[in-house]
Structure 1
Amino acid sequence: MGFSHLLVMPNQNLSKTLLAELIERWNCEKKAFELPPGEIKATLMDIALILGIRVTGEPVVLTDEPFSELEKVYGSSSQNRQITVASLERRLQSLSMVTNEEFIRTFILFIFGALLFPNADGTIDSRYLYFLKDLDKVPHFAWGEAVLRDLYFWLDRRKRETVEYMGSCLIFLQIWSYEHIDIARPIFQGSKLSFPRACRWKNSTSYTRQWFTTKFENLKEKQIIWQLKPTAEESNIDFVRELLEAEKDNLEALSTSNHLLRNDAVSDVIKLEESEDIVGELLEAQKDNLNLPTSQLSPTIASIENEDSLRTRNQILEKQNLELKKEVDFLRKENQNLRSQLSSVGNLADRLERILFDGDVNKEKEETSTNSVP
């Protein structure tokens, strides 16, 4: 079903003071934790490596589906659509002698309520049963992506509404901190179970909130691992490999998109330069008209225009001249902006190409190193 790695995770006591410090540093707009050396985010790769569950596939999105008979069977109601984790535990005990679809479905829902998607009041949203109706489809959903999205939801809510208790997969957030930040890391597990990475760490020593605040305020960049990278062994796990391939595809697509954007920007700059030349020619023509003596005007016009009409004509030409100058200034600014965007796009595309190139080079080095081992 895709949750087998969760079964080997050791019991972890939540460090409330560590979690409180992390939550305090959460930025709702940037979806990142603000640390003195910089901002750091929790990613899909973090979920895959720490929890060992799939993060790609069909999305898990709770919608206003009609209240189902299956929800009713599990004790939910159409008013609140919640199921208590305690009732799921009792249900599992009553089904302990039988391993059938009902037991499997109940066990998965229990994992959701106790670990992956818990609410702050000890309940689980009964709408998750919609994704458990057909157990054959369960492994194809992006459960890890849903866990990360649920964590973001609760972090935002805790920060904006100052709720007393918080739901979501807090054990992931705690292990994420151990993996990324060298503060209060517990003893590294010496067991052979190295995956998921939640198996690496023993329980942490308890510290006060002030201790954590001081440590985080004095945090240095060398104490941070900004991005987790899978080992060669982890890269061979199917859902980690799928994520790596998806990330590479996204980078290549972004690189292609930026090349197209750069070409469009070049075209726009050329068009603006052509427009600027045309306006410049018009200005010169207007200037020549303003400087023409009366004797050089058309004989017909000269014969019927008196001094007042010529003055009016000159005023009109001066006004047009001023408007054309404004248009030239505007076009020049647009030209400068497009040139700036073109430069930025070019730099981004070059960086992406270097990332892709470095990734391919590193991969080749790893393969060469592997093949050279006797």
Structure 2
Amino acid sequence: MPYFELSGFESAALIQTFDLQYDLISALVRRWRLESHTFHLPCGECTVTLEDVALQLGLAIDGSAVTGVSARAEPATLCYSLLRASPGDDESNFSGLKFTWLKANFEHLSVNATEEELMCASRAYIMHIIGGVLMPDANNNRVHLQYLPLLADLHNVRSYSWGSAVLAMLYRELCRTTKPHAVDIGGCLLLLQSWALYRMPFLA
């Protein structure tokens, strides 16, 4: 927990997952309007805001933008430098880390773990939170490697506006899912559902 507090992910690390109400999410998607990024409801327009992200997820909404790194090391080198482990040779060209691999390598820590091992495990857990809860894609089975370099210095992680990135991805996924060919949705659906139930308690 001290490393999560250091990085600004202490609240996100404590997020409790719960069953999603897909009928509610589908109803919201049907009412999403691309041109205004709002839900059109009988009572008017509304949307998830940065304030909602800060209050419900405890993430920073000010700071540097979360963007991909333009020039990064080879995936295996990057993983070894920040996690002290890397997926096998069969995935030498990987662009993301599978959750199964993260769990297999970082679920258990020795009671005598060094500070470096604790920091690597913290990075791995934050990567799991990012890809599994905060910014999952529609497949929801891995996290993109682009986020790992941003976790290199855990003191600096909180300087990024993670909340803005979470909201931007949710908006993007809502826009993508309104298209006829879309079959699934990514983004922080926990945020979307909890926002709807908090802001419109009659839905509960």
Q: Assess if the C-alpha contact under 8 Å between 2:136 and 2:186 holds in 1.
A: yes
For residue 166 of structure 2, what is the aligned residue in structure 1?
A: 147
Q: Assess if the C-alpha contact under 8 Å between 1:56 and 1:141 holds in 2.
A: yes
Q: Which AA in structure 2 matches 1:48?
A: A
Q: Which AA in structure 2 matches 1:88?
A: L
From 56, 63, 82, give the equivalent of 2:96: 82
Give the drift of 1:11.
3.4
Q: Assess if the C-alpha contact under 8 Å between 2:13 and 2:129 holds in 1.
A: no
For residue 52 of structure 2, what is the aligned residue in structure 1?
A: 46
- In structure 1, list runs of 5 or more residues that go unmatched: 186-374
- The superposition leaves residues 251-302 of structure 1 with CA deviations (integer Å, 9 ceiling, x where unpaired) of xxxxxxxxxxxxxxxxxxxxxxxxxxxxxxxxxxxxxxxxxxxxxxxxxxxx
* Residues 53, 25 of structure 1: alpha-carbon distance in 2 compared, 3 angstrom cutoff: same
Alignment of structure 1 residues 199-238 onto 2, 5 Å: none
* Residues 114, 136 of structure 1: alpha-carbon distance in 2 compared, 3 angstrom cutoff: same
Give the drift of 1:70.
1.4
Q: What is the number of equivalent residue pairs in this alignment?
A: 185
- Give the greater-gyration-radius structure (CA): 1
Give the drift of 1:94.
4.3
- Could you tell me how far apart the structure 1 residues matched to 2:108 and 2:16 are? 25
From 136, 139, 149, give the equivalent of 1:118: 136
- Could you tell me how far apart the structure 2 residues matched to 1:92 and 1:112 are? 16
- Could you tell me how far apart the structure 2 residues matched to 1:78 and 1:34 are? 46
Q: Secondary structure at the match of 2:201?
A: coil
For residue 78 of structure 2, what is the aligned residue in structure 1?
A: 70
For residue 103 of structure 1, what is the aligned residue in structure 2?
A: 121
Give the drift of 1:154.
1.1
- The superposition leaves residues 303-355 of structure 1 with CA deviations (integer Å, 9 ceiling, x where unpaired) of xxxxxxxxxxxxxxxxxxxxxxxxxxxxxxxxxxxxxxxxxxxxxxxxxxxxx
Q: Which AA in structure 1 matches 2:137?
A: N
Give the drift of 1:71.
4.0
Q: Structure 1 vs Structure 2: percent identity of aligned residues?
A: 30
- Could you tell me how far apart the structure 1 residues matched to 2:163 and 2:42 are? 29
Q: Assess if the C-alpha contact under 8 Å between 1:71 and 1:127 holds in 2.
A: no
- Could you tell me how far apart the structure 1 residues matched to 2:180 and 2:166 are? 21
Which gives a bigger RCO, structure 1 or 2 (Cα 8 Å, sep 6+)? 2
From 13, 21, 42, give the equivalent of 1:36: 42
For residue 175 of structure 1, what is the aligned residue in structure 2?
A: 194
For residue 250 of structure 1, what is the aligned residue in structure 2?
A: none
TM-score by length of 1: 0.46
2:29 paired with 1:11: no
Give the drift of 1:183.
3.4
Q: Assess if the C-alpha contact under 8 Å between 1:91 and 1:106 holds in 2.
A: no
Q: Which AA in structure 2 matches 1:44?
A: L
Give the drift of 1:74.
3.7
- Could you tell me how far apart the structure 2 residues matched to 1:17 and 1:64 are? 39
For residue 4 of structure 2, what is the aligned residue in structure 1?
A: none
Q: Secondary structure at the match of 2:132?
A: helix
2:153 paired with 1:134: yes
Q: Secondary structure at the match of 2:59?
A: coil
- Could you tell me how far apart the structure 2 residues matched to 1:112 and 1:7 are? 10
- In structure 2, list runs of 5 or more residues that go unmatched: 1-6
- Could you tell me how far apart the structure 1 residues matched to 2:181 and 2:191 are? 21
Q: Which moved more, 1:86-95 or 1:32-41?
A: 86-95
* Residues 80, 31 of structure 1: alpha-carbon distance in 2 compared, 3 angstrom cutoff: farther
* Residues 71, 152 of structure 1: alpha-carbon distance in 2 compared, 3 angstrom cutoff: farther
Give the drift of 1:24.
1.1
- Could you tell me how far apart the structure 1 residues matched to 2:66 and 2:93 are? 22
Q: Assess if the C-alpha contact under 8 Å between 2:69 and 2:149 holds in 1.
A: no
